[in-house]
Amino acid sequence: MAGSELWWIVILNGFGVVVMLFLYLRNQWSMNDLKKTEKMAEQGVEETDVLLKDLEEKKAKDDALLNSLGEGIVVTDQDGNVELINKTAEKLVGWKLDEVVGKKWFNVAPLVDNKGIQILPENRATQRVLKLGQPIYSDKYNYVRRDGTRFPVATTASPVVFGGKIIGVIAVFRDVTHEKEVDQAKSEFVSLASHQLRTPLSAIKWFVEMLLAGDAGPLNPEQTEFATNIAVSNQRMVDLVTSLLNISRIESGRIIINPVPTDLGKLVAEVADGLKKKIGDKKLKLAISVLPGLPLINIDPKLVSQVYMNLLTNSIKYTPDGGEIMVTISRKNEVVESAVSDNGVGIPKEAQKRVFEKFFRAPNAVKMETDGTGLGLYLAKSVVESSGGKIWFESGDGKGTTFKFDLPLSGMVPKEGEVTLS
């Protein structure tokens, strides 16, 4: 063989080895890649397993949480169809989850008022939330159980919002039978106690008046002073007992609403006339302005005059001597609005959300006027609301106060009851 041929053979063989080596290495790399991918896939499966386990664990915890709550929970979609109820809800309404899923909650658990009249779906908290998009609390009605029995319920319904859209409602509800019974017992106690207290208080009043009138012989100045103090304190007690009695009457729902066509301007003037002495003693200026041509309104004068009386008495009490009080009666669309304003001490910001609470008195009011029960506004609010109106105020510390309330122009709805206000 010639030398050059031998070289060729060596070169070609060398090339072949390089190609083989390249192919071998590429194969190895691919194998590695494949193994890596396999490993990653295995890892992925493991991770998914862990995730699933995590989710299952979380779900088990959520289920335990939902079912251990003392409150019933119902979740509905945006059409009011049940998606979920917890165990307490099952017990309260008597239906099992799988029997109600996909059904309208308002059909599953009908709501009735105390007379047994069914509440329309659109007036129920769960449906109103879908419309308003805000949480709603309601404790006025009763749920009807599967077996037809009822229980008073307190519900907080909140919207479920996703991507800016309301996609359903979560309602948390509980049976408030016990609270209602305690409330009722309290009201009955207050009613009974105040009723029983009125007789001896009236007797004291009569006898002190007789003493002061000299019916038992003339009194010396010291005796007159003592008897006058007894009369004043006794009157305070009479006022307190009367307020308590009126509140228990309103709360019991037994109050009679007897609307008659009434001239509100005349009514407020009569109330102001009864307060003439107090107004004069403090040298206050009182102005009354009534919209000319205001029609007669069908209201219960006894109830509404109590509202004017309480608001005016407050303005008198909480306005320093020489101050000004103004009553305005006007018409706003379908309501008659009354406003009682004064330039008195005002209601400090931190006290404002409590003024309608029973027995609440703001510190500046207590300082200015020791006399007071903290019941006047509560009573006024109860009367206005039971007459279909609303009451609110604007005030600031030292900036005077304006209380406003409105009543429907159409008047109050008559109600047959058992008692009137004292």
The residue ranges that bind ligand ADP (CB under 6 A) are 310, 314-315, 317-318, 342, 344-347, 355, 360-362, 365, 372-378, 401
Task: Answer yes or no: are the C-beta atoms of 300 and 367 closer than 8 Å.
Answer: no
Nearest distance from C-beta of residue 310 to ligand ADP, angstroms:
6
Q: Which is nearer to ligand ADP, 83 or 239 (CB)?
A: 239
Nearest distance from C-beta of residue 59 to ligand ADP, angstroms:
51
Between CA 388 and CA 257 the distance in angstroms is 11
Q: Which pairing describes strands 72-77 and 111-112: parallel, antiparallel, or unpaired? A: unpaired
Nearest distance from C-beta of residue 61 to ligand ADP, angstroms:
47
Between CA 236 and CA 368 the distance in angstroms is 17
Task: Answer yes or no: are the C-beta atoms of 91 and 74 closer than 8 Å.
Answer: no
Q: Which is nearer to ligand ADP, 298 or 402 (CB)?
A: 402
Task: Answer yes or no: are the C-beta atoms of 175 and 92 closer than 8 Å.
Answer: yes
Nearest distance from C-beta of residue 289 to ligand ADP, angstroms:
18
Q: Looking at the DSSP assignment, which residues form a beta bridge with residue 326? A: 287, 341
- Looking at residue 109, what DSSP letter applies? S
| H-type alpha helices, 119-176 | 125-132
Nearest distance from C-beta of residue 243 to ligand ADP, angstroms:
8
Q: Which is nearer to ligand ADP, 169 or 379 (CB)?
A: 379
Q: Which is nearer to ligand ADP, 256 or 288 (CB)?
A: 288
Nearest distance from C-beta of residue 255 to ligand ADP, angstroms:
19
The residue sitting closest to ligand ADP, measured at its beta carbon, is 376
Q: Which is nearer to ligand ADP, 156 or 373 (CB)?
A: 373
Nearest distance from C-beta of residue 286 to ligand ADP, angstroms:
13
Q: Which is nearer to ligand ADP, 126 or 314 (CB)?
A: 314
C-alpha closest to that of 409 among 353, 335, 337, 349? 335
Q: Which is nearer to ligand ADP, 175 or 342 (CB)?
A: 342
Contacts of 5-11 with CB under 8 Å at 24 or more apart are none
The backbone torsions φ and ψ at residue 101, rounded to the nearest 5 degrees and listed phi first, read -55, 130
Q: Which is nearer to ligand ADP, 258 or 352 (CB)?
A: 352
Nearest distance from C-beta of residue 401 to ligand ADP, angstroms:
4
| H-type alpha helices, 262-349 | 264-274, 276-281, 301-317
Nearest distance from C-beta of residue 327 to ligand ADP, angstroms:
12
Residues 6+ apart with CB under 8 A from 306: 246, 379, 380, 383, 421
Sheet holding 401-408, edge to edge: 285-290, 324-332, 335-342, 401-408, 390-395
Q: Which is nearer to ligand ADP, 124 or 361 (CB)?
A: 361
- Looking at residue 120, what DSSP letter applies? P
3-state secondary structure of 217: coil
Between CA 269 and CA 223 the distance in angstroms is 37
Q: Which is nearer to ligand ADP, 109 or 312 (CB)?
A: 312
Between CA 70 and CA 221 the distance in angstroms is 66
C-alpha closest to that of 312 among 348, 350, 258, 269? 269
Nearest distance from C-beta of residue 298 to ligand ADP, angstroms:
27
Task: Answer yes or no: are the C-beta atoms of 113 and 141 closer than 8 Å.
Answer: yes
